[in-house]
Amino acid sequence: MTVAEFFGCTFLAFGPPLAMFIFTIAHDPIRIIILIAAAFVWLLSLLISSTFWFAIVPLREYLSFGLVFSIFFQEAFRYVIYIVLRKTERGLQEVTQNSRVTENKHILAYVSGLGFGIISGAFALVNVLADSVGPATMGLLSGTNVFFITSAAQTLCTVLLHTFWSVIFFNALDTSRYSHVAYVVISHLFVSCLTLFNKQELYYATLIPSYLVTILTGILAFKVVGGSLVTVKRFVTCQ
């Protein structure tokens, strides 16, 4: 039955984030709290953008209007969580037993980014997943039966991107590299607007560029946190 498809899509979208959560976050209560706080802040951004969507009449008709607005709100709230985390740093230092969280600023960025990603991924995919349980697949009136799997892949892409974006964004604000902030906002806009192609079922046009951007952003985030070819080599050879 389509139950297999449901589980397949769920794990495709949320398997990697789940693994990241288990191996990098679950062991530290402070990180869990920050993850959830970040998810909450993303929800606030959703609330505000949906209020706008509902209140401003032209937004309701055109998906792309709402989409662009929503991205600006998300980025604004990414800034909000940045401010909040920096303001509460000292407090965190007091409560945490593990001083790495506050010493390595990238950890906080990574955790809040993952929080953003997981919750936005959940909101993007939950309705689709609920419909995928069956007994039907797409394709009766419109759409193709790869719809579910492409949606799941797109969601995974969004989750990873949010993580990378937060890392880049936080570092950019710390070091005043505003070109990086601009990169985050523009690549966010770019990837989100690409999804508008899904309506025409141009999934290749959406997924391939999205994943290219994800890889690029990943590399940039890796560099931002101090990674280089040397560190990759060391990791691979287990030195």
Partner 1 sequence: MSVLFGIIFMLLVQSSIAERTRDKMYQAITGASCFRRLNATHQTGCSSPFSGSVGVLHLISTAVDIDFLVNKPPAPPYAPVIPPHLFTRDNILRIKNDAAKYVSAIILINKIDKLIDFSHELKCPNPFSGLISEQTCDPSKQETTWNPYGTGLLHEDFPFPIYYVADNKEIQKIIDCFEKFNNFDVKNQKHRSLCSIQVNSFMSAAVNSEVCIRRTGVFNNLTPTKFCDPLQGRNIYTTLFPRPIVDPVNRVVDESEKIILVSARLDTTSFFDGIGLGAMDSLVSFATLISVAHLLATLIPDRNAGQKNVLFMLFNGESYDYIGSQRFVYDLQKKDFPTKSTSTNILTLENIEFMIDIGPLDDLNNLKIYYAKEFPYEKSFKSAIDEYNAKFTLGLNITEQQSLNLPPTSAQSFLRENISFPVVIVTSNSPKNKFYHSIYDDGTNIGFKYQNTSQDFTKLDTFGAESPFEANSTQIKIRNTATGLAFALYYLVTREVYQKDQIASSVLIDEFLYCFLESADCPLFKAASPPNSLPGLSGPPLRYISVAGGSQEAAGWTLRLLGYLVGSKVQNAVKKNCTEPPLHWIAGFNGTGECRLTKSNYSSAYSPAFSIEGYDWQSGKYSTWTESTWFPMSARIFLQPSKTHEASIRRVVWNLPFKFTHNNASSLLKLAKKTVTKKMKGRRFKIYQLKTNKSTTLIFFNTL
Binding site for partner 1 (CB under 8 A): 1-2, 4-5, 7-9, 11-12, 15-16, 18-19, 22-23, 27, 61-65, 68, 127-128, 131-132, 135-143, 145, 147, 149, 186, 189-190, 193, 196, 199
Tokens 């069956």 correspond to what residue? 134
* Minimum distance, C-beta of residue 176 to partner 1, in the bound complex (Å): 23
Nearer to partner 1, 95 or 133 (CB): 133
8 Å CB contact between 139 and 145: yes
* Minimum distance, C-beta of residue 75 to partner 1, in the bound complex (Å): 16
* Minimum distance, C-beta of residue 57 to partner 1, in the bound complex (Å): 13
The 3-state DSSP class for residue 211 equals helix
- Closest by CA position to 82, among listed 122, 46, 111: 111
Nearer to partner 1, 88 or 201 (CB): 201
Distances (CA, A) of 140 to 3, 132, 143, 145: 19, 14, 8, 9
**Dihedral sign from CA coordinates of 78, 83, 88, 90:** positive
- Alpha carbon 15 to its chain centroid, in Å, reads 14
Nearer to partner 1, 57 or 90 (CB): 57
* Minimum distance, C-beta of residue 149 to partner 1, in the bound complex (Å): 7
Nearer to partner 1, 83 or 136 (CB): 136
* Minimum distance, C-beta of residue 88 to partner 1, in the bound complex (Å): 26
* Minimum distance, C-beta of residue 15 to partner 1, in the bound complex (Å): 3
Nearer to partner 1, 40 or 234 (CB): 234
Q: What's the rounded Cα separation, in Å, for the pair 191 and 161? A: 9
Structure-block tokens of residue 31: 């990180």
Nearer to partner 1, 139 or 227 (CB): 139
- Furthest-apart CA atoms within the chain: distance in Å: 59
